[in-house]
Amino acid sequence: MKTRILGQFNGGLEVSALGLGCMGLDFGYTHNGDVSQEAGAALLRGAVDHGITFFDTAEVYGPYTNETRVGAALAPVRDSVVIATKFGFRYEGGKNVGLDSRADSIHRAVDGSLKRLGTDYIDLLYQHRVDPSVPIEDVAGAVKELIEAGKVRHFGLSEAGVKTVRRAHAIQPVTALQMEYSLWFRDVETNGILATAEELGIGLVPYSPLGKGFLTGALSGASLPASDFRKALPRFADEAIQKNRALVELIQRVAATKRATPAQIALAWLLAQRPWVVPIPGTTKLQRLEENLGAAAVELSAAELAEIARAAAAIPIEGARYTPDQLARVGIDAPERTQP
Taking the CA atoms of residue 232, residue 255, residue 39 and residue 75 in that order, the dihedral angle to the nearest 10 degrees is: -100
pLDDT of amino acid 209: 98
C-alpha 19, offset from chain centre = 9
In DSSP terms, 56 is beta-bridged to: 21, 84
Element (H, E) at 324: helix 324-327
pLDDT of amino acid 218: 84
Answer for the pair 129, 328: CB distance below 8 angstroms, yes or no.
Answer: no
* CA neighbor of 37 nearest in space, from 83, 77, 68, 76: 68
Helix (H, G, I), strand (E, B) or coil at 316: coil
Q: Length of the chain in residues, anyone?
A: 340
Average pLDDT for the chain: 94
C-alpha 23/C-alpha 58 separation (Å) is 8
**Residues near 257 by Cβ (< 8 Å), separated by ≥ 6?**
none
Q: 13-16 and 3-6 as β-strands: parallel, antiparallel, unpaired?
A: antiparallel
169: confidence class by pLDDT, cuts 50, 70, 90: very high
Average pLDDT over residues 124-153: 98
**Residues near 115 by Cβ (< 8 Å), separated by ≥ 6?**
none
Q: pTM, whole model, 2 decimals?
A: 0.96
Domain ranges for the chain:
3-210+274-298
CATH of 3-210+274-298, one of 3.40.50.620, 3.20.20.100, 1.20.1260.10, 3.40.50.1370: 3.20.20.100
CA dist 2 → 14, 96, 295, 316 (Å): 10, 37, 11, 34
C-alpha 261/C-alpha 267 separation (Å) is 10
**Residue-wise pLDDT tens digits, 237-277:** 989 999 999 999 999 999 999 999 999 999 999 999 999 99
Task: Indicate whether 338 pLDDT > 90.
Answer: no
pLDDT of amino acid 32: 45
**Residues near 38 by Cβ (< 8 Å), separated by ≥ 6?**
none
336: confidence class by pLDDT, cuts 50, 70, 90: confident
CA dist 60 → 77, 100, 117, 134, 295 (Å): 24, 12, 14, 19, 29
C-alpha 89/C-alpha 111 separation (Å) is 14
**Residues near 100 by Cβ (< 8 Å), separated by ≥ 6?**
88, 89, 90, 131
Helix (H, G, I), strand (E, B) or coil at 11: helix
DSSP secondary structure code for residue 101 in this structure = -
Q: Which residue has the higher pLDDT, 34 or 1?
A: 1
Task: Indicate whether 161 pLDDT > 90.
Answer: yes
C-alpha 124/C-alpha 54 separation (Å) is 10
Q: Which residues are catalytic?
A: 61
C-alpha 237/C-alpha 159 separation (Å) is 24
